[in-house]
Amino acid sequence: MKVAFQGIRGAYSEMALHDHFGKTVETVGCESFDDVFDLVNSGAVTYGFIPVENTIAGTVVENYDLLFANDVLVIAEVYLPIRHTLLAKKGARLESIKDALSHPHALKQCKAYLKLKNIRMVPTYDTAGAAKAVASGDRMNCAAIASELCAEIYDMEILEHNIQTNSSNTTRFFVIAKKENIPADHVTGKTTVAFKTRHYPGALVDCLKIFQKYSLNLTKLESRPIPETPWEYVFYAAFEAGIDSDEVKSAIGELTLHALFVKLLGSYPKAEKCW
Amino acid sequence: MKVAFQGIRGAYSEMALHDHFGKTVETVGCESFDDVFDLVNSGAVTYGFIPVENTIAGTVVENYDLLFANDVLVIAEVYLPIRHTLLAKKGARLESIKDALSHPHALKQCKAYLKLKNIRMVPTYDTAGAAKAVASGDRMNCAAIASELCAEIYDMEILEHNIQTNSSNTTRFFVIAKKENIPADHVTGKTTVAFKTRHYPGALVDCLKIFQKYSLNLTKLESRPIPETPWEYVFYAAFEAGIDSDEVKSAIGELTLHALFVKLLGSYPKAEKCW
């Protein structure tokens, strides 16, 4: 089975992917999130694996927009605590490290540690790419900030675990699939929908009242402006019940009466680990 | 008058800041958003200028969280269309450019253009920093992707305007101030609040019904998980009416009856330019 993710080998997405599917699955790194959706759509991979929210950076709106634009469904949610690791070439020693390569976000999250150790920050395009560059280079005083998985993939020395300042940094991922690739034994306990409201004050409340009527607890609600059409918004909502329940079916049915349109983004089991 | 922003001279924030306050204001670049809030709190600057939403990247949740945690108020909103400019040393020619330095986000937004021109992408910590580095370096075949303002500040050649693929890339900023620094003639037409709901299905709807009751049109609504307390959410909402109106005062009053707490983040004039 093949699963696509955005990034190169050792990206945090790949680490979360292994947590969910196990180590034996074949992973396919893509340049962009678009490419992940394309591979799922074309059938080149069975599943796609995409980040959708992070406790520090917030919602990955690009992926919600792609879910909205594509004919795929969310079939699972996965949470990964982001633990940044300081990696270097085999035999390197922490005391000798002068430079740390990584994506600006990761550098920022580890700023306090790097300052303490007097290590200079060197920005790169992504975290796993930084690890690969350090591993293939010849500098013993140069490290990368990336996932622990990179140590294994690029045969590197782990100099320090958990060097991030904020310990509650967690990313939520979605597994996406074409309808025909949803497993037969698929169970659902959570549902995510997108809908667009009509143009009058309180239109959103009229939509949300339906969720209340059926006692559906919202766990996420976010408005997203539509750049091409000022003052129009798509809302992304998640609630704790599966599409198989009568309440959810009735609620979505009623929602289509009040909203301009409703799109089911997916229904999936509630993850055990979460924030 | 002094206004603080995050970044170095020539950052997009500083460009938006000039659009709003004019060119004569004294700008103070800060290393982090925390520092901007600290300078406003301490009275070292009169105002702070912070990005809060971008059409591509979504909400800058860090700044909403800082608004929530600090005793400052939003007194204006400002929209800036992000137009990436290719800049190089004076006398450089577009045909000779081999490398383009910029933040990974900006590089990604200009990928199609760079590919077409066969220019290599070189990641840096921020856009204005890339411009400064190119200007102070000695390479005539190296460019930066940054704001047009950088050409003026670092005395650079503009090789090409508007090199981004997506023309609808717009950032929304907030001007923040301590209560005592709100101008006497301050007018309000839009209001942003944060509130936390009680723990029962439909609690959010009960809160939003109040906005509907007073015909207040929501222009933003976003849930934000509280990492320390799983399953608790703070909601950020904006609606099109000022705190001086009876409807808004009544709505916020009623909201405090239904929500666990309500915090006014600010009330400000509605910007003319928006998405």
Per-residue pLDDT, B52: 95
Per-residue pLDDT, B230: 55
Residues in chain A: 275
Give the C-alpha separation, B35 to A218, whole Å.
35
Which H/E stretch holds residue B76?
A: strand B73-81
pLDDT tens, residue by residue, A100-143: 999 988 999 999 999 999 999 999 989 999 999 999 999 999 99
A230, pLDDT greater than 60: no
pLDDT tens, residue by residue, B80-106: 999 999 999 999 999 999 999 999 889
Of B58, B206, B235, the CB nearest to A61: B58
Q: What is the SS3 assignment for B197?
A: coil
CB contacts, 8 Å: A56 with chain B: 61-62
Q: Are A170 and A51 in contact (CB under 8 A)?
A: no
Residue B204 vs residues A212, B209, B264: alpha-carbon distances, Å = 9, 9, 17
Per-residue pLDDT, B224: 82
Per-residue pLDDT, A231: 57
Confidence of residue B269 (pLDDT cuts 50, 70, 90): very high
Average pLDDT over residues A49-75: 92
CA atoms within 13 A on the CB side of B139: 17
CA distance A177 to chain B (A): 24
Residue A114 vs residues A95, A97, A117, A165: alpha-carbon distances, Å = 12, 10, 5, 10
Test A56 with B61 for CB contact under 8 angstroms. yes
CB contacts, 8 Å: B172 with chain A: none
Per-residue pLDDT, A178: 96
A171 is catalytic: yes
Which range scores top for mean pLDDT: A167-176, A204-213, B111-120? B111-120
CA distance A201 to chain B (A): 4
Of A56, A208, A275, the CB nearest to B208: A208
B199, pLDDT greater than 90: no
Test A216 with B235 for CB contact under 8 angstroms. no
Per-residue pLDDT, A59: 87
Give the C-alpha separation, B58 to A40, whole Å.
25
What distance, in Å, lies between the first and last C-alpha atoms of chain B? 29
Per-residue pLDDT, B169: 87
Dihedral sign from CA coordinates of A174, A178, A183, A187 = positive
- Nearest residue to B223 (alpha-carbon basis) of B203, B248, B251, B196: B196
Residue bearing tokens 């008058």: B1
Q: Indicate the pairing of strand B261-268 with strand B190-196.
A: antiparallel
Average pLDDT over residues B189-193: 96
Q: According to CATH, where is 3.40.190.10 located in chain B?
A: 2-81+169-179, 85-160
pLDDT tens, residue by residue, A191-221: 999 999 887 777 888 898 899 899 988 888 8
The structural architecture, per CATH, of the domain A190-268 is: 2-Layer Sandwich (3.30)
- pLDDT above 90 coverage of chain A, percent: 76
A173 is catalytic: yes
The structural architecture, per CATH, of the domain A85-160 is: 3-Layer(aba) Sandwich (3.40)
Test A125 with B123 for CB contact under 8 angstroms. yes
CB contacts, 8 Å: A104 with chain B: 103-104, 123, 125-126
B225, pLDDT greater than 80: no
Size of interface A-B (CB pairs under 8 A): 115
Per-residue pLDDT, A275: 61
CB contacts, 8 Å: A202 with chain B: 211-213, 215
| Fold of the A2-80+169-178 domain | D-Maltodextrin-Binding Protein; domain 2 (3.40.190)
User: Amino acid identity, residue A247?
Assistant: E
Partner residues linked to B259 by β-bridges: none
Test B125 with A104 for CB contact under 8 angstroms. yes
User: Amino acid identity, residue B67?
Assistant: L
Q: Indicate the pairing of strand A190-196 with strand A233-239.
A: antiparallel
CA distance B180 to chain A (A): 31
Which H/E stretch holds residue B175?
A: strand B170-177
Residue A29 makes CB contacts below 8 A (sequence gap 6+) with A4, A5, A6, A7, A8, A9, A11, A14
Q: Give the residue ranges of DSSP H helices in chain B.
A: 12-21, 33-42, 61-69, 104-109, 111-116, 127-136, 149-153, 203-213, 246-258
Per-residue pLDDT, A77: 96
Confidence of residue A229 (pLDDT cuts 50, 70, 90): low
Count the neighbouring beta carbons within 10 Å of the beta carbon of residue A170: 19
Residue B122 makes CB contacts below 8 A (sequence gap 6+) with B99, B100, B101, B102
Residue A108 makes CB contacts below 8 A (sequence gap 6+) with none
Rg (CA), chain B: 21
A228, pLDDT greater than 70: no
Per-residue pLDDT, B272: 80
Residue B202 vs residues A17, A204, B233: alpha-carbon distances, Å = 33, 13, 13
What distance, in Å, lies between the first and last C-alpha atoms of chain A? 29
Q: What is the average pLDDT value for chain B, to the nearest integer?
A: 92
Single out the catalytic residue among B85, B124, B127, B171. Answer: B171
Q: According to CATH, where is 3.30.70.260 located in chain B?
A: 190-268
Q: Are A21 and A14 in contact (CB under 8 A)?
A: no
Test A211 with B227 for CB contact under 8 angstroms. no
Per-residue pLDDT, B58: 84
Q: Are B126 and B103 in contact (CB under 8 A)?
A: yes
CATH 3.40.50.970 fits B2-81+169-179, yes or no: no
Report pTM.
0.83
Test A235 with B221 for CB contact under 8 angstroms. yes
A169, pLDDT greater than 90: no
Q: According to CATH, where is 3.40.190.10 located in chain A?
A: 2-80+169-178, 85-160
Least confident range from A72-86, A184-198, B145-159, B220-234: namely B220-234
